[in-house]
């Protein structure tokens, strides 16, 4: 979708953006994205964080073209400027690249305020800048990351799916953010069906693909080699895929992850379901880093984020790339539009390939 299409279809949408860990690259990429004044033509931005922090980075990075409107409860939303909601009262010591519990607590406060505003409908969706999973942990925040935080608040079944999205591919992760030793126990018929249902519904509803083709990766090397390297494929994954296919779902696999990505088979599908985090995220980021977006499928609200972390090693050095944040904003606007029933957007739709049927169990 080009700039003019987005300008026409996304007008007046209020999109929240959380600042993330203020010692990471979040404030920098926000400033860089909104240094392009055309962004203000697409939607009304509501930044959750601190005007003081953004002003500090503006001076530190010598970014002169950014300006913001400080929003307070009961005041007005400025449709021509970036609106900032300060989510904590006490001024904080900004120290780029340093992990601090203070920055973690502030990141949580921004998330909590954004959550409240999503529930009241003050904002139409949310884009989250990176947090440090280490510094946000306390008695009030025990989630592994953003995905689980929003899953708890906006999923009726308390189940969502991390879906990495780019113009080239979409990759979902069945088991999410858990230790590798726990992955095997998460591979069940019910979890596969639930994850594939969320993925299929999202590709249909959020990405406007009428008949999505989904590839499922195996758990073991070479997809188990017909039982020689593991039983999960023959006992769980293959039967579940066959069951869903017989019900009219275009689900194929299981595929060996190395050959699947190495041979470019992902180009034949609308989405891929990986069994665990690194199996899907490593090839995605290898192919799509900086242009990829982390999307949470299965929520009642729209949430996206850049596909990178806090990048403490480059924070405050004016070298962070804002492309992924811009793409996260674009995707959030596109999905909000799709959910409002706007015409089908211009996403890639793969063609029928009879050879895929040969891969069915």
Predicted local distance difference test score (pLDDT) of residue 349: 35
62 burial level (CB within 10 Å; 0-12, 13-18, 19+): exposed
- Element of type H or E holding 70: strand 68-71
What backbone phi and psi angles, to 5 degrees, belong to 86?
-80, 120
Instruction: Evaluate if residue 27 carries a pLDDT over 50.
Output: yes
pLDDT tens digits for range 153-203:
998 888 899 999 999 999 999 998 889 999 999 999 999 999 999 999 999
Instruction: Evaluate if residue 351 carries a pLDDT over 90.
Output: no
Average pLDDT taken over every residue of the chain:
89
Q: How far is CA 167 from CA 10, 293, 356, in A?
A: 19, 10, 22
Predicted local distance difference test score (pLDDT) of residue 182: 94
Q: Tokens 């739709």 identify what position? A: 349
Separation between Cα atoms, residue 107 and residue 251, nearest integer Å: 39
Tell me, rounded to whole angstroms, the distance of Cα 216 from its chain centroid.
20
Strands (E), 223-288: 251-255, 271-274
Separation between Cα atoms, residue 226 and residue 210, nearest integer Å: 33
* Domains along the sequence of the chain with CATH: 1-159+299-321 (3.40.718.10), 161-293+348-361 (3.40.718.10)
Closest CA to 241 of 74, 357, 105: 357
Predicted local distance difference test score (pLDDT) of residue 89: 83
Find out whether the peptide bond into 254 is cis, omega within 30 degrees of 0. Answer: yes
The percentage of residues in the chain with a pLDDT greater than 90, rounded to a whole number, is 76
- Element of type H or E holding 111: helix 101-120
Greatest alpha-carbon pair distance for the chain in Å reads: 66
Separation between Cα atoms, residue 330 and residue 270, nearest integer Å: 19
Mean pLDDT of 334-350: 65
The partner residues of 149 in beta bridges, in order of sequence, read none
């Amino acid at each position: 979708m080009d700039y003019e299409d987005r300008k026409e279809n996304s007008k007046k949408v209020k999109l929240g953006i959380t600042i993330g860990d203020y010692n990471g690259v979040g404030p920098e990429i926000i400033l860089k994205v909104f240094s392009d004044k055309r962004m203000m033509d697409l939607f009304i931005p509501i930044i959750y964080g601190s005007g003081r922090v953004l002003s500090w980075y503006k001076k530190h990075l010598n970014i002169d073209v950014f300006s913001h409107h400080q929003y307070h409860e009961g005041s007005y939303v400025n449709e021509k400027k970036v609106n900032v909601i300060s989510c904590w009262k006490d001024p904080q010591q900004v120290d780029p690249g340093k992990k601090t519990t203070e920055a973690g607590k502030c990141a949580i406060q921004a998330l909590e305020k954004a959550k409240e505003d999503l529930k009241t409908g003050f904002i139409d969706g949310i884009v989250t800048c990176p947090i440090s999973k280490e510094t946000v942990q306390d008695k009030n925040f025990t989630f592994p990351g953003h995905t689980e935080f929003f899953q708890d608040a906006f999923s009726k079944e308390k189940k969502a799916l991390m879906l990495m999205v780019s113009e080239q591919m979409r990759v979902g992760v069945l088991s999410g953010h858990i230790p590798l030793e726990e992955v095997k126990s998460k591979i069940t018929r019910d979890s596969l069906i639930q994850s594939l249902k969320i993925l299929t519904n999202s590709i249909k509803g959020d990405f406007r693909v009428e008949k999505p083709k989904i590839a499922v990766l195996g758990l073991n090397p070479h997809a188990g080699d017909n039982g020689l390297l593991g039983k999960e494929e023959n006992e769980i994954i293959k039967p579940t895929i066959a069951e869903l296919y017989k019900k009219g779902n275009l689900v194929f696999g299981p595929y060996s992850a190395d050959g699947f990505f190495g041979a470019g088979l992902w180009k034949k599908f609308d989405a891929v379901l990986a069994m665990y985090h690194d199996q899907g995220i490593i090839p995605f980021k290898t192919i799509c880093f900086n242009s990829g977006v982390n999307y949470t499928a299965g929520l009642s609200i729209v949430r996206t984020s850049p596909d990178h972390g806090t990048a403490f090693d480059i924070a405050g050095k004016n070298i962070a790339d804002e492309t992924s944040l811009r793409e996260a904003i674009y995707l959030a606007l596109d999905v909000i539009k799709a959910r409002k029933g706007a015409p089908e957007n211009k996403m890639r739709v793969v063609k029928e390939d009879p050879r895929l049927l040969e891969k069915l169990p």
